């Protein structure tokens, strides 16, 4: 759809983190699809740029100590780097270089989401601070509207008076000072500073304004130049995996300590790394979808998961996601005893407002699936199972070098736990999850000379039908963006930005899937920061008197990729 629209309008199209990861293997799959689409349209002499984000381990070997961990990552070793499939996260420079070379379509590997939207405005002369903050709003589309939605669109208009104004095309939504300013906090663990490869976005000076009933905007954010740095993400294979889920018949606290050690128990310790405090609740949710075909069950399970993850509800204080997942991907398919096929999704929450409304939210998710995917919903049966301290659910996870060893060790664990299983409770036992990888690299690299010389190579093609002729290969051109910072910024935050409580978690697919091989435990720094400042919203707001802690995301959740569009118009 995007390719067709770009060709029809003869406008540049930038697609980043191609294939959801930006790694070579996923890019190759997506490029094959794109080649077919362009051939069907009969394009002639179309300039296309392809930008790689893969990182050769040879670049880092011997320099591992120069990489700074983002969050609580295990100590990085040469062995881990050598075994890992890695990508680096590009900023705006590779995109700007490709556009300056004449590319009309840019297909890029792993990217900062914001960079995809900020690059062309910056190339056209828009102030970097305005472009970066506008891109931060645009990359989530109508989530920054009221009611919000992750499957709807948003338009940004850069005006000659130095402001940018956001308007949703959907007449049922509106952009407000509240919704736009609140979204400045989305997926960030600092309320005012955002760090990118080329510099730092500072929103402390941002001023928000309303522009009619359905539009809102801002002006005057700052962008400060800094030495070039990139985030490197990688995962490495660790063996074969077996998984079991089952309801417990006993209070988790009554289990012998060695049986609880290192295991997730919903209702006890599965969402955060510490047991549930007195007066709080933790729930586990199992989405169980059954169908005649494996593909049907897997598709609806993924859709229901996405809807529930992003669904808005009254009082929600963050739009970054409603659920914590123990697995990546979150879906898996156990064997069944009949000719049907089942896919399960496991997730959890400690958010009290979410927990109080689960029945209503489950009904909303069902209705959305029936409305958007009626044939698929009719072909499947879906259930939402809830577990808590009274009906706990245990997850038993075994990884070994070979499948035979995983089967043996997993069998021993299940035998030891058998006396504590609920006889008539839910269970999915001894599920094979195949080759497993862990998130091994999540680090910052600031060797500017090496980054400029080796990362993000650009290949420029002339495309006619199915013929892709390589015309040129080059490296991105970097130039300072913004202005020097007037004083010290939060450098400690830059060094340590990332998850505040994460532990390496296995994933049951090959390496390098966009950083999804880690389990984020708990609601995170941003969530607790929001709760702390809820009593004094002035402490968070970039502009005076703005209550910008949350947005009421009452819209439809993401079943499709959401996004925004930027254009420049006279003020």
pLDDT by position in tens, the chain (length 571): 889 999 999 999 999 999 988 999 999 999 999 999 999 999 999 999 999 999 999 999 999 999 999 988 889 999 999 999 999 999 999 999 999 999 999 999 999 999 999 999 999 999 999 999 999 999 988 888 988 777 788 999 999 999 999 999 999 999 999 999 988 888 787 889 999 999 999 999 999 999 999 999 999 999 999 999 999 999 999 999 999 999 999 888 889 999 998 899 999 999 987 889 999 999 999 999 999 999 999 999 999 999 999 888 888 777 778 999 998 888 999 988 778 999 999 999 999 999 999 999 999 999 999 999 999 999 999 999 999 999 999 999 999 999 999 999 999 999 999 999 998 899 999 999 999 999 999 999 999 999 999 999 999 999 999 999 999 999 999 999 999 998 887 655 444 444 333 344 455 544 433 332 222 222 222 222 222 222 222 222 222 222 222 222 222 222 333 344 444 333 3
CATH number of the domain residue 261 falls in: 3.30.70.600
Residues 340, 307 share a domain: yes
Nearest by Cα to 400 from 167, 243, 570? 243
Torsion sign across C-alpha atoms 280, 244, 254, 521: negative
Is 342 exposed, middle or buried (CB count within 10 Å of its CB: 0-12, 13-18, 19+)? Answer: buried
3-state helix, strand, coil split of the chain in percent (to 5) is 30, 30, 40
Residues 426, 300 share a domain: yes
Of 383, 416, 440, which one is at a domain's C-terminal end?
440
Residues 255, 199 share a domain: no
User: Does residue 65 lie in a domain region?
Assistant: no
Residues 284, 217 share a domain: no
Residues 301, 269 share a domain: yes
User: Does residue 134 lie in a domain region?
Assistant: yes
Residues 249, 194 share a domain: no
Predicted TM-score of the model (pTM): 0.80
Residues 566, 541 share a domain: yes
Using CA atoms, how far apart are residues 272 and 438, in angstroms rounded to an integer? 19
Torsion of CA 73, 320, 87, 270, to 10 degrees: 40
| Contact between residue 189 and residue 526 where contact means Cβ atoms under 8 Å apart | yes
Helix (H/G/I), strand (E/B), else coil: 70: coil
Of 440, 475, 490, which one is at a domain's C-terminal end?
440
Residues 265, 222 share a domain: no
* H or E element, residue 58: helix 57-60
User: Does residue 403 lie in a domain region?
Assistant: yes
Query: Could you give the C-alpha distances from 57 to 53, 68, 85, 234, in angstroms and in order?
Result: 13, 16, 8, 10
Residues 253, 174 share a domain: no
User: Does residue 524 lie in a domain region?
Assistant: no
Angle ∠(527,132,450) on CA atoms, nearest 5? 100
| Contact between residue 47 and residue 464 where contact means Cβ atoms under 8 Å apart | no
Q: Into how many domains does the chain fold?
A: 2
Using CA atoms, how far apart are residues 435 and 399, in angstroms rounded to an integer? 9
Using CA atoms, how far apart are residues 235 and 91, in angstroms rounded to an integer? 21
Task: Name the residue range of residue 308's domain.
Answer: 237-440
Nearest by Cα to 324 from 380, 381, 283? 283
Of 385, 407, 440, which one is at a domain's C-terminal end?
440
| Contact between residue 220 and residue 207 where contact means Cβ atoms under 8 Å apart | yes
Look up residue 17 and give its two tokens: 């983190």
User: Does residue 271 lie in a domain region?
Assistant: yes
User: Does residue 351 lie in a domain region?
Assistant: yes
Residues 293, 210 share a domain: no
User: Does residue 270 lie in a domain region?
Assistant: yes
Residues 177, 252 share a domain: no
Residues 217, 251 share a domain: no
């Amino acid at each position: 759809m995007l390719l067709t629209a770009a060709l029809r309008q003869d406008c540049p199209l930038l697609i980043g983190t191609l294939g959801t990861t930006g790694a070579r293997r996923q890019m190759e799959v997506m490029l094959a699809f794109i080649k077919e689409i362009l051939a069907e349209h009969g394009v002639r002499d179309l300039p296309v740029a392809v930008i790689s984000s893969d990182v050769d381990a040879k670049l880092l070997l011997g320099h591992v100590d120069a990489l700074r961990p983002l969050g609580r990552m295990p100590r990085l070793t040469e062995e881990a780097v050598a075994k890992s499939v890695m990508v680096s996260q590009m900023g705006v420079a590779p995109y700007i270089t490709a556009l300056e070379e004449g590319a009309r379509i840019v297909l890029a590997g792993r990217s900062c989401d914001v960079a995809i939207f900020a690059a062309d405005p910056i190339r056209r002369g828009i102030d970097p601070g305005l472009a970066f903050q506008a891109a931060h709003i645009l990359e989530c589309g109508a989530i920054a509207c009221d009611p919000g939605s992750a499957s709807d669109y948003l338009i940004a208009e850069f005006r000659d008076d130095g402001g940018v104004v956001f308007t949703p095309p959907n007449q049922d939504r509106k952009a407000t000072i509240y919704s736009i300013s609140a979204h400045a906090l989305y997926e960030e663990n600092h309320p005012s500073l955002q760090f990118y490869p080329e510099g730092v976005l500072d929103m402390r000076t941002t001023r928000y304004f309303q522009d009619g009933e359905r539009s809102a905007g801002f002006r005057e954010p700052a962008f400060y130049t800094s030495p070039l740095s990139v985030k490197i993400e990688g995962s490495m294979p660790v063996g074969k995996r077996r998984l079991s889920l089952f309801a417990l018949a006993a209070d988790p606290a009554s289990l012998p300590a060695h049986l609880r050690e290192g295991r997730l128990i919903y209702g006890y310790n599965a969402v955060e790394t510490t047991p549930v405090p007195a007066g709080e609740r933790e729930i586990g949710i199992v989405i169980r979808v059954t169908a005649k075909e494996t593909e049907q069950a897997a598709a609806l399970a993924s859709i229901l998961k996405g809807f529930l993850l992003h669904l808005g509800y009254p009082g929600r204080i963050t739009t970054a996601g409603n659920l914590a997942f123990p697995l990546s991907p979150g879906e898996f398919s156990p064997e069944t005893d009949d000719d049907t096929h089942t896919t399960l999704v496991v997730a959890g929450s400690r958010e009290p407002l979410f927990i109080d409304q689960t029945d209503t939210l489950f009904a909303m998710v069902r209705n959305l699936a029936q409305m958007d995917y009626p044939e698929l919903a009719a072909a499947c049966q879906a259930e939402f199972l809830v577990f808590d301290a009274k009906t706990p659910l245990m997850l038993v996870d075994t990884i070994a070098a070979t499948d035979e060893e995983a089967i043996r060790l997993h069998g021993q664990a299940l035998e030891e736990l058998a006396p504590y299983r609920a006889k008539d409770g839910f269970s999915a036992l001894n599920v094979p999850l195949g080759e497993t990888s862990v998130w091994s690299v999540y680090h910052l690299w600031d060797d500017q000379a090496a980054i400029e010389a080796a990362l993000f190579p650009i290949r420029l093609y002339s495309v006619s039908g199915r013929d892709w002729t390589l015309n040129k290969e080059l490296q991105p051109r970097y130039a300072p963006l913004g202005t020097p910072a007037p004083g010290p910024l939060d450098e400690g935050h830059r060094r340590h930005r990332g998850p505040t409580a994460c532990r390496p978690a296995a994933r049951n697919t090959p390496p390098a899937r966009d950083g999804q091989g880690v389990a984020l435990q708990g609601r995170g720094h941003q969530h607790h920061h929001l709760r702390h400042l809820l009593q004094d919203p002035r402490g968070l707001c970039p502009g005076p008197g703005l209550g910008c802690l949350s947005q009421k995301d009452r819209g439809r959740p993401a079943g499709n990729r959401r996004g925004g569009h930027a254009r420049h118009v006279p003020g």
